[in-house]
Amino acid sequence: MAVTLNLLSTALLLLTCAVGVTVSVNRCPNCGSTAVPYPLSTGSSCGDQNYKIRCDAGSLVFDTLNNTYPITSINRFNQRLVIQPASLVPNTCVTTDLRFEGVQLNSSLPFNITSSNTVMFLNCTDSILRSPLDCSSNGLCHEYVNESSRAAACEASPICCTFKAGGGATAYAIRARETGCRAYTSFVNLQSDLPVNRWPEPGMELQWVSPPEPVCGTQADCDRNSTCRSDPNSNGTRRCFCNSGLFWDPIEGVCTE
């Protein structure tokens, strides 16, 4: 009996400690050594379920509609993350995700592609010349293709186009297509006056919408600073709304003063 009690109090102590160290009750555990900030979720019991990413063998990955990309960085304060775009099939100017038609996000989810991306479409057909992209022969993508060993195979394909992503049709998709451009790459916050050998590694920045209060079934799902009530903006959904005097902090995922 004494042993059982001892075990019980040890378990309680561990539990208290575990709760004590997490800033938010709802924060997911680290993936490998990488923190998973709220509202991002790697499991059904943590984070916000609309913000699913995956922890795959100790590394975070982002699932698009048809494919998966490594997450290379996360900034919880500006609610952005960077994924690593697909690489080229060796010695060709075709991206490995051509069969999935490039990066396509589910537009019902709270992630979109930010306007900090400079996207280069490579190995394009001349049908693309009717588009509003910059496909001029002295464009930035030509400079990239000429100077970067990574895209050397693309020198053999004369048409490439450059554009700043974000908004409209590009908020949820950067498309590669057999009938359009067969490859693409992207750079976050590119200073285009820098020589190509000083450009950053390719990356594509996504942004997430500020999360609303967490969904709850009963009061037991909420902490003592919030109350489980129906959401006036969505029928049938109940959320942990902050008690009076406190407000919802979507970055920490808690109610604060």
Ligand X SMILES: *[C@@H]1O[C@H](CO)[C@@H](O)[C@H](O)[C@H]1NC(C)=O
Cα separation, 220 vs 227, whole angstroms = 9
Is the bond preceding 132 in cis, omega lying within 30 degrees of 0?
A: no
191 near ligand X, rule: CB under 6 A? no
Q: Is 26 in the site for ligand X (CB under 6 A)?
A: no
Quick one: which of 61, 196, 209, 251 contacts ligand X (CB under 6 A)?
209
Residue (65 or 251) nearer to ligand X, CB: 65
- Sheet (strand 54-56) strand order: 54-56, 59-63, 68-75, 80-83, 204-208, 111-113
For the bound state, the minimum distance from the C-beta of residue 32 to ligand X, rounded and expressed in Å, comes to 26
Interacting stretch for ligand X, rule CB under 6 A, among 10-18, 32-40, 149-157, 189-197?
Answer: 149-157
The amino acid occupying position 93 is: C
Question: In the complex with ligand X, which residue's Cβ is closer, 4 or 108?
Answer: 108
Q: What is the torsional sign of CA 140, 141, 146, 151?
A: positive
The span from the CA of 240 to the CA of 221, in Å, is 8
Please report, as a single letter, which amino acid is at residue 134. D
Smaller CB separation from ligand X, 56 or 100: 100
Interface residue list for ligand X (CB under 6 A): 65-66, 92-94, 100-101, 106, 108-109, 112, 123, 138, 142-143, 146, 153, 156-157, 166-167, 171, 178, 182, 207, 209, 223-225, 233-235, 246, 254-257
